[in-house]
Structure 1
Amino acid sequence: MDGGGASLGRNWVEPDEREELVLPMDLRISVSAEFFSTENGGYPAVDEEARVFQTLEKQSSRGFVDDKKVGDGEKKHSLKIIPSLQGVSRPLLAAVFAFPVPTVEVRVYKGNELVASGLASRSYLFHLPESLPKEGKGLLSLFLSILRNVKLDAANVTLLQQVVFPNLVEGRYLIKVFLNIGNRSKYIGYKSVDLNKNLSCMVSCKPEKNLIVNVEGQDGRPVKGVVFQVVDKEKVVVTKDLTDENGRAELSFPLSPYCRVQAIYKGLQVYDEEIKPFSCLPFLNRGERKVVLYLYDVRVSLMDSLDLVFNGSVNPFLTSQDGVVNTTIKPTFSANGEYIFTGLPRGRYQFFVKYKSFVLSKELDVKKNLSLVFNIPSNHVIKFRVVDNRGTPLVGAEVKVSRNGVVLDEETNGDGDAVFILPPGRYSVEVVYNGVSLAKQVLKVSGDEKMVVATDFTPFYVPVFFAVVFAVGTLFFLFVIIKKLGLHFLFLILSMMLLVSSVFLPLWVFDGVKDGYSVYSNIFVFPPSFITFKQA
């Protein structure tokens, strides 16, 4: 057909899948496609034809298998499924006619993933090839071409409606059977199979049961996120649903002589009931349940060695020791520094918090609302070296470190050092010398640290030196005036004074603002140093 074709692009990637930029040399893609044209039907005719084609494609005796989910490079087998409900599925009529025609759909799940699906139908005795050779014009030529090319397939013919999935990898699968009539779908059968060879199995079909569950807490508020599941005597999960924001879950499953409805919330089993075969019928008023969960809050305060709220980077969590599902429960962080675990069912939990090498683990028995306080004795060594504006250690200066009203102070030793043992947090640092505040900074403690605090204190020898230079210069100036030696001697003396003074003056000065601080840096020749001053 002129104008038909296919395009291949790489811009579309499934969520959580890695983008493949290199195609293998032996890549082969097989698809089922139909080319359709209409003179005056427009897009409605195309949409209707697409619906018919997709329905016909499903009713093939070989069901659709999602290659992305069944795996690649693994051993594969064929799975033939025969629903016990026979003679009902009419996929061909459902495709051709607009009115509701029943079809029996088979879905195959691996874990929670749908990996294959198809409509139950019979295999036909005669098959035509995909295209007929041209043997002339007219109906007679077409009829003769059909007779010559029709193929007998007696080996695969069957009186039973079935679906065959030819390429499923080894593993455990859950088969679900649905009866579809128009837009309505009834869950009528299931079977769990272990596929380790080519397998043919029959799935027993029964009437669908419906159960509605409404969950609320002891305060009457609906509870969202409760997992309800129906399990049979073999512990097969037949169906499951989560409660919505209204606390409502709807379960549909095939009628069974034995099944249980269980509820799991935050890893704990909070509900378990055996469902009798006729207990969910609406006319018996048993198709709806109301479940009340008693839920509690646990508030945890983490304190440091200063008896302040611990300010390190931590992520506390709970796990349920009595849980049937491994679940990590994370808290919300309140403005007053509490970690709040809300809506916990009754049970035993394990509390964990870790900061660097420190690990805290506590067992909690939750039967009521709890408020707990735990201390994290993690501290860091902070060493301050206080220097004057020439980089010389400042001895005897008082270093004050404060946070949330707690003030610690130390005096610098002979090397200008003051050492503090501090828990993580944000601290204000102030250096006081002889009652005068020389420097203020903010320090964020998250590990051991050495910090140089440069102050604006000027050592005594600097003004003495400049006084001596000025006195000597004045004497030379008077000498030049008295002796009338000339102006060149005067300029020579001034030049020598500036040259000598430059030894103690900054060679280069930088200034600016960074992170809310006024910052300026000086480079000195004597003593050789590069000093940066930060003032909050």
Structure 2
Amino acid sequence: MMFKIKQAAILFVILLLLSSFTYSHGKISNFLYLEEIKIPVDTSDQNSRYYPIDIRVNFDHPCWARDEINRSVRVFVYHDGEYREIESQIYNLEFVDNSHIRSCNLVFLIPDFADGREKYFVAYSDKPTPAPDYEDHVSLREGRFYYEPIKGYKADVRYYLIKEDGYAPFLVCYDGSVTGLRFAQRIVKLKERSKDISLHNWLVATTYALMYLDETRSVGSVGSMERFRSKKIFVDGNLMIRFGIETESFDGNLLTRNVYTYYYSPIGDKRIVVSSYQKIKENRVSTGTGAQGGNIVTMITSITRSANIEELNTGLFIPYVHFFSEENIVKEYKFPQDVSGARRKWIILPEDDEDLGEKPWISMDFGDKGDTFALIFTNTSLFSKGREGLQVTAGLSKWIDMPGLLMQGMGISVGRNSYEKGEEEILELPSNLETSFLSEFYYTKDGYFKIKDEVDRFARTFSSTYEKGDWNYSKNNRKKTYNLTVIPSLQGLSYPLIAAVSRFPIPIVTIELYKDGRIVSSALFRRYTLIKFRELPENLRDIKNYLYLDVKNISIFQKVKFPGLEEGNYVVKVYFKFGKIKKFIGLEIVDLSRDRVCMVLCKPEVRLRYSVKDQYGGSIENVSLNVIKDGEIVENYISDKDGKIEIRLPLSDYKIEAFYKDLKLFSDEIKAKDFLLMLRLHRDKKINLYNLNVKTVDTLGLPFGDDLYLDLNGIKADFSDGNHIFTRIPEGSYKLRLLYKSFEYELQINLNDDTETIIEIPVSYDITLQVKDLLD
């Protein structure tokens, strides 16, 4: 009897040990080393969730890593009795040899389940480990945008566009101008869920550059953002991107070198951290109303309202300025809505002696609720010489006020402490004056009250992370460029200048230019007349003072000229607009390898409708549909929750291709004659969708965790209750691929019904047991 009990006990121990190996498949057990890391943020505050952490980690053991992608480093959070892996990124690797590092910077976000009780760990190994399969949430796209709705009023900028999960929260310009103002070093906050950089998506622009007023200059100031010098991308990861821009004044006397860092933020709060270095070589004196001894940051919003040109409707009228003052209280100023009779109105002048306090921040906002745009600093002692402190100014300008067109702007600036009561006013910028500081351009939808907590977290997290960047001074070679002139067959129906200043509907014909699926230029067709405006007058009474003759550029046809376009294929789209009516009437593909003149044949607009459903009559959402002409994708549409897609195009032949989860569903050839009866066409599509359930076990029949990599023709599986599940997959033949450490497995799947399959991974275990009797 005793022997049977001993046998049962030994069998129980063996089974217990074997069952424990189901956890060995868990992610954390794949790593040899686990070290706790401390973060500088109080995570018991719910507002800290999704805040970025960027810290330097020194490893106690050799850490395997070949580069930022192929690495063993992971971040785990211990919470409620379990370890959870969260997405992470590494950069600034310090190598021991070609495959091991001793330290690196580690980036991750505070998770949404954080409550102050969790602990953070870095896990790693000294042996090769599969690369982490994280989504690339952020990316950087470089481009050029040109828009000229009215002669002399144009935007021509070169930029970095920050993309985040398919949308663009910020645009950072490194060269170019808008209506004559230099636009380098400007961060533009775009509207929520913006996908392109069209002007109507612009909200607020912030410039980190050294500037001073000079009343002898036509633009009234001198700034270190006037001429582009160099740029460089330092880091482009899955959670963080970092890039630098170097500029100078036209005379070379002022210099700014900024490094911009953007961290992924899946919530409404957005932030760019700016590490700014600014310098003046030879002394200068600031002159004019509002002069102070140098500004280092400005924030402006340009408000344009046009009754006829929709693209001109940009910017916000922001009612309030708030800042934390040197009296350590929050002060409030209001922008007046009416500045009739005045071109400029100052809200805060240097003589008002408004300085930032010990926790420095200033915002333009809509009060305690609503959109807030803030500048945050770590301290107020930023300059290499002169009086300490940061002084603020604010004002509003009205440039044009006509019946159908309004252009005005408002803004704030932060600069040197030029004015103190009872002391000498400082207007000189001395030779070799320098400043190096860290700042944050912060946006929230929750009002200015939220800035206080952001200031505290920013000071604790980033105050010691100033990054100059590894600049090289090689010239940034630009590609060869060409000019494109577009002439539509529809002539005599576009009156952009009259449309701009009229409150009544006036017809216009617009053009949009696309390259690689994104808009690069936009303009309005117009005839180049003999009599032109140097610029639009402030009001109609002054029109005659702005007229001049231009014999050289007179033209017969209405057309648009696009200068300086890079070589490549462009999609030209032409629209007719009259009031609220907008028709897509012209489409051409242009291969630009030399200066070209493109004639666009304008045709009636047609409508193509698709309805996509599954075999049960259920709607299929998020079907991606490409419209193709001459081998180029000219339009892309996504099906709505009802599975419907409505397409508007000029009458012509097209090819339609539809994709779902990156899998091709169908392809249609659409002919112009198909539309001729009603200029409309409707097509219904039925797609069979099925589920695939994959269960993975070892040689003992024990299930694996979610540390396997499975994909079905590139589609990733969801993991639930020990199963990898592929849901709503179109009917067809697929290759199922499984990766686990050195084990690789492929299986051909013919999916014509809901399917389940079991895959056995040949994993064995070595178990050593020492069996003892009751006397040990």
Q: TM-score, normalised by structure 1?
A: 0.56
Structure 1 segment 278-427 matched on structure 2, within 5 A: 279-280=674-675, 283=678, 287-311=681-705, 313-319=707-713, 328-335=714-721, 337-379=722-764, 410-412=768-770
Q: 1:265 to 1:356 in 2, by over 3 A?
A: same
Q: In angstroms, what is the RMSD of aligned CA positions? A: 4.1
2:617 maps to 220
2:489 to 67, 84, 87: 84
Task: Report the CA distance shift for 1:88/1:26 in structure 2 as closer, same or farther (over 3 A).
Answer: same
Distance 1:87 1:5, change over 3 A: closer
Is contact 2:614–2:688 with CA below 8 Å preserved after alignment?
yes
CA displacement at 1:354 relative to structure 2: 0.9
1:52 aligns with 2:446: no
The residue that corresponds to 1:442 in the other structure is: none
CA 1:375–1:5: 2 relative to 1, 3 Å = closer
Question: Residues 398-435 of structure 1, C-alpha deviation per residue, up to 9 Å, x if partnerless?
Answer: xxxxxxxxxxxx433xxxxxxxxxxxxxxxxxxx7435
1:209: Cα distance to partner? Answer: 0.8
**What are structure 1's unaligned runs of at least 5 residues?**
55-70, 133-137, 320-327, 383-409, 413-431, 437-456, 458-536
Paired with 1:18 and 1:222, the residues of 2 have a C-alpha distance of 38
CA contact (8 A) 1:298 1:342 kept: yes
TM, length-normalised to structure 2: 0.40
Per the TM alignment, residue 229 of structure 1 is displaced from its structure 2 partner at its CA by: 2.5
1:261 aligns to 2:484 (yes or no): no
Distance 1:361 1:19 in 2: 39
CA distance in 2, matches of 1:216, 1:183: 33
Greater CA drift, 246-255 or 366-375: 366-375
Distance change >3 Å, CA 5–CA 370, structure 1 → 2: closer
In 1: Cα distance, 2:183 partner to 2:595 partner? 36
Matches within 5 A, 1:148-297: 150-154=548-552, 156-232=553-629, 234-256=630-652, 258-277=653-672, 279-280=674-675, 283=678, 287-297=681-691
Q: Deviations over 1:442-479 (max 9, x none)?
A: xxxxxxxxxxxxxxx8xxxxxxxxxxxxxxxxxxxxxx
- Asked if structure 2 preserves the Cα contact closer than 8 Å seen for 1:53 and 1:95, the reply is no
* Higher share in strand: 2
Q: Distance in 1 between matches of 2:536 and 2:621?
A: 56
How far the C-alpha of 1:201 sits from its partner, in A, is 0.8
Q: CA deviation at 1:306?
A: 1.3
Assess if the C-alpha contact under 8 Å between 1:187 and 1:254 holds in 2. yes
Say which is worse superposed, 368-377 or 286-295, in terms of deviation: 286-295
Structure 2: stretches of 5+ with no match in the other structure: 1-179, 195-235, 257-301, 305-337, 346-395, 408-475
Q: Structure 1 residues 72, 168: closer, same or farther in 2, change over 3 A? A: farther
Shift of 1:198: 1.2
Instruction: Show the counterpart of 1:66.
Output: none
Cα distance in 1, alignment partners of residues 773 and 401 from structure 2: 93
Deviation at 1:368, TM superposition (A): 2.2
TM-superposed deviation, 1:275: 2.8
Q: Which amino acid is the alignment partner of residue 525 of structure 2?
A: A
Question: Is residue 170–residue 195 contact of structure 1 (8 Å, CA) maintained in 2?
Answer: yes
CA–CA separation in structure 2 for the residues paired with 1:18 and 1:265:
30
Asked if the contact 2:651/2:675 (under 8 Å) is kept, the reply is no
| Partner residue in 1 for 2:340 | 38
Distance in 2 of aligned mates of 1:131 and 1:97:
13
Partner of 1:112: 517
* CA deviation after TM superposition for structure 1 residue 114, in Å: 0.6
Partner of 2:54: none
Partners of 2:182 and 2:511 lie apart in 1 by 30
Partner residue of 1:470?
Answer: none
Paired residue type of 1:260? K
- Once residues 561 and 186 of structure 2 are traced to their aligned partners in structure 1, the CA distance between those partners, rounded to angstroms, is 32
Q: After alignment, is 262-271 or 75-84 more displaced?
A: 262-271
In structure 2, the residue matched to 1:24 is: 247
Change (3 A) 1:189 1:73: same
**Separation in 2, partners of 1:94, 1:371:** 64
1:268, CA displacement in angstroms?
3.4
Alignment-derived partner of residue 104 in structure 2: none
1:317-358: CA deviation from partner (whole Å, max 9, x where unpaired): 111xxxxxxxx21122222x2211111112221211111111
- Preserved CA contact (<8 Å) 2:691 2:727: yes
Counterparts of 1:174 and 1:8 in 2: how far apart (Å)?
28
Q: 1:99 aligns with which of 485, 504, 514?
A: 504
Call closer, same or farther: CA 1:49–1:247 in 2, change over 3 Å: farther
**Does the residue aligned with 1:93 lie in a helix, a strand or coil?**
helix
For 2:483, give the aligned amino acid.
S
Give the match for residue 391 of structure 1.
Answer: none
d(CA) in 2 for partners of 1:303 and 1:27?
68
Letter in 2 for 1:107: E
Closer/same/farther in 2, CA of residues 289 and 40 from structure 1, 3 Å limit: farther
Q: Is the 8 A contact 2:517 2:634 kept in 1?
A: no
SS of alignment partner, residue 316 of structure 1:
strand
Secondary structure of the structure 1 residue equivalent to 2:526 = coil
Shift of 1:9: 6.8
SS state at 1:39 partner? coil
Q: Is the 8 A contact 1:210 1:281 kept in 2?
A: no
Question: What is the rounded CA distance, in whole Å, between the counterparts of 2:402 and 2:584 in structure 1?
Answer: 28
1:227-270: per-residue Cα shift (whole Å, max 9, x none)? 223223x23333221101221111111101x3233322233332
Kindly state the Cα deviation for residue 291 of structure 1 after the two structures are TM-superposed. Answer: 1.5
The separation in 1 between residues aligned to 2:674 and 2:600, in whole angstroms, is 24
Using the aligned pairs only, state the percent identity: 30
Structure number with greater Rg is 1
Q: What's the secondary structure of 2:610's corresponding residue?
A: strand
1:112 Cα deviation from its structure 2 partner: 1.4
